[in-house]
Amino acid sequence: MKYFFLFLSTFAFAQQTKSVDFKYVNGQISINPNNKSIAGAITYCFEVLKPIDTIKIDAQNMTFSEVELNEKKIPFTTNGKELILIYPFQKGKNSVQFTYEAKPKQTMYFVGSEETDNLQIWTQGQGKYTSHWFPSFDDVNEKVIFNMDIVFDSKYQVVSNGILKNKVENNGVIYWSYQMKKPMSSYLLMIAIGKYDRGTQKAKSGIPLEMYINPKDIAKQEPTYRYSKEIFDFLEKEIGVKYPWEIYRQVPVSEFLYAGMENTSTTLFTTRYVVDNIGFEDRSYTNVNAHELAHQWFGDLITAQSGKDHWLQEGFATYYALLAEKEIYGEDYFYSKLYESSMQIKQASKTDTIPVLNAKASSLSFYQKGAWALHVLREGIGEKAFRKAVKNYLKKYAYKNVTTQNFFEEIKKVSNYDLENFSKVWLESSAFNSEIANGLLAKNKAMQVQLEVAKLRNKPLADKYAFFEKTLESDVYFTVKASIVSQLMKEKFEDKKQLLLLALQTQNIQVRQAVASTLQKIPEEFRTDYETLLDDKSYQTQEFALYYLWNSFENKRAEYLAKTKDWVGFNDFNLRILWLSLAISTPEYSANKETVLQELINYSSTNYEATTRQNALEYLINFDVINEAVLKNLVNATTHHMWQFSKFGRENIRVLLKNPEIRTTFQTILPSLNEKEQFQLNRLLKE
C-alpha cells in the first residue's frame, strides 16, 4: 500500500523522460495467428538520472508476469494502459525484465488466413499506438534502440526494423533476429509477416535496398518499384546527410490503413500501389515512395517534440518527395504539383481556420501547406543556403527531438531572411498567400499559361475559345490542357466539340482521360471519337469510357461488353467489377447471368481486400442487385479495421433499412452472423 501512495503523491508522467533515460530494449516475441495474440519476454536497459519512485511503460490491455529489476522481483501494477514499476529507483544503470501477453485490439492487424494461403500480419504504430502490441513509449521524446527476436512459421517471411543479424530454423519455425544501432521513437517499431519474394539493389552510398513483393505479383515488381534507386540516390545527395540507417526495405501489405508508413528502415505501403506497366500511368507509387523515404531523415532521424511541430515531418517529406519527382519527371511536373496543391489549400482556407503550427491542423496544412512554406523559404534564401541549413539541422539534432525554432536557428546562421514574417504568413495564419505563391509559380513557363487559363474560368467560352484552341495545339505541359478540358464540362456540346477533338488528338493519356471523365453523356456524332478511349493504356480511362458509353448508347451495350469481356484492371479489379455489373444489367447480352452474379458477389466478400469489396458492393447496391449474400457481406464490412470501409457499410445499411422488405431480410440473416456482425447489425436495427 505504501508504494501505491508514493505513486499517487509523487509521480508526474510528463517528467519521466527528465528522470529516466531508456537506452535499449531486447524483445523476444511470438505471434499466434489463430487467436490473434502475441506473447513476449522483454528486457529494457535504462539509466536513472535522478531518484524516482515510479516508472511507467505504456502497455494497452496487457497481462504481465515475472517482473524483475536487475534480476530481482519488484512490485508492479497495471491500469490497462501502463505497466507501472514501483520502487525507490536511485541514480545509475538498471535493467528490467518481464513477460507479457496481449490480444491487440488495434495496431497489429491479422489479414487473410493460413487456410486461404494469404495470411499477413503487420503493425501500424503512427502516433502513439505501438503500445497496443509491444510494451513501449507513447511519448515520442523517449527514443530507444530496439532489438527484436521474432518466432514464426518457417513458411513466411518476417520483417522488422534494422539489420537481420541471424535467422535460425528449428522444427518448422524460424527465429528471426533484427537489431538496430541507433535509437528511435516507439511509433516507428514494426513487424510485417507474409509470403514474399525479395528484390535487391544497392544505393550509390552502399546502402542495401530490399523490395518485397507477393509471389503472385512478381511480374509487377519493376513498375511498382520503378525509380526507387534513383529516388534514394537523389535524396541522399539533395539532403546532404547520409541515409541514417543500415538498410532500407519496402513491403506492400494488404488492407493497409494509409498510403504508406515510414517505419525506421522499413516502409510499409498499401497494395493499391502494386501495379503493372499500364497501372503505373494512373497509380504510380513514385510519390509515396519518395515521401516515405524522405521521412527516414525527417521524422525518424529527427522527430518533432509535439504535434504542434508536426509539419517538420510531413511538410519536409512532402517537399522533398516533390524535389525527387522533379528530378525524375522534370520541372513542369514539379510546378504543376505545386499549383495543384495551391488550389487545394486556397479552397480549404475558406473554412479551415487552423494554421500549420497547431497540433489540430489538417493533413492538408501539415503536408501541402508545410511543403509550400519550405518552397517559399528555399526560394527566399537560395538553394545553397537552404541545403546548408537543412544539413546542419539534421546533423545537430540527429536521433533527437526538434521544434520549429530549432530549424529556424539553423536558417538564421546562413541567412538574414525575415523568419518572423515568414512564420506569421505561412505557419501561423490559416490564409493562403496566393500572390506570393503565384509569383513563384510564374517562374515556370507552363504555369504562366496555367495561371492564364485559371483567370478565364468564369469567362464565356466565346471569349476564351481562341486561346484554348491555341493552347491545346501547343506543346505546353499536359496538366494545362487537362485544366482546359475541365472548364468545358458545362458548355454545350456543339460549342466545345472541336476543342474536345483537339484534346483527344494530343494522344496524351491524362488529357484524353480528362475528356473521358468530363463528358458523361456522349452525343452520337462524337461516339466514334470517344470510343477510341477504350483502347487507351489506362485502366482509369477505360473505366470511365466503358461506363459512359454503356450508359449513352443502349443499342451498343452488348457490343461494348463483348469487346471488354477480358478486362481486369488494377489489382482491385476495377474493370472486371464494372464489366460484371454492366453484364448483369444488360438483358440482351448473352452471358450466364447467375455465374456473372456469383462472381460479382464474390468480389464483395472477405476473399478480397476492402477497396475491391467496397467497389463491388457499390455496384451491387446501385444496380439494385441485393440478396442475402450481399447483405451479409455488407454487414461484415461494418466490422472491418479500415474506418472508411466500416463507415461505408454502416451508411449503406441505414439507407437499406428504410426498405421494409430489406429490413426483414436483415433480421432473417441476423442469427447466422458472427458475434461482431450481430453487434453491429443489432445496433443499426435499433437506431
Q: What is the pLDDT of residue 128?
A: 81
Q: How many CB atoms lie within 10 A of CB 174?
A: 17
Low-confidence ranges of the chain (pLDDT < 70): 1-14
Spatial distance between the Cα atoms of 652 and 678, rounded to a whole number of angstroms:
16
Number of Cβ atoms within 10 Å of the Cβ of 415: 17
* Res 133: pLDDT: 98
Q: Measured between alpha carbons, how far is 421 from 428 in angstroms, rounded to an integer?
A: 10
Cell of 515: 475528356
CATH class of 196-296: mainly alpha
Identify the architecture of domain 302-443 in CATH. Answer: Orthogonal Bundle (1.10)
Residue ranges per domain, the chain? 1-107+123-186, 196-296, 302-443
Distance CA 134, CA 668 (A): 42
Per-residue model confidence (pLDDT) at position 14 = 56
CB 369 within 8 A of CB 319: no
Span 1-107+123-186 CATH architecture: Sandwich (2.60)
What pLDDT sits at residue 590?
A: 82
What integer best gives the mean pLDDT of the chain?
Answer: 96
Q: So what's the pLDDT on residue 80?
A: 95
Domains 196-296 and 302-443 share a fold: yes
- Contact partners, residue 350, CB within 8 Å, separation at least 6: none
Q: Which of 607, 603, 610, 623 is nearest to 649 (CA)?
A: 610
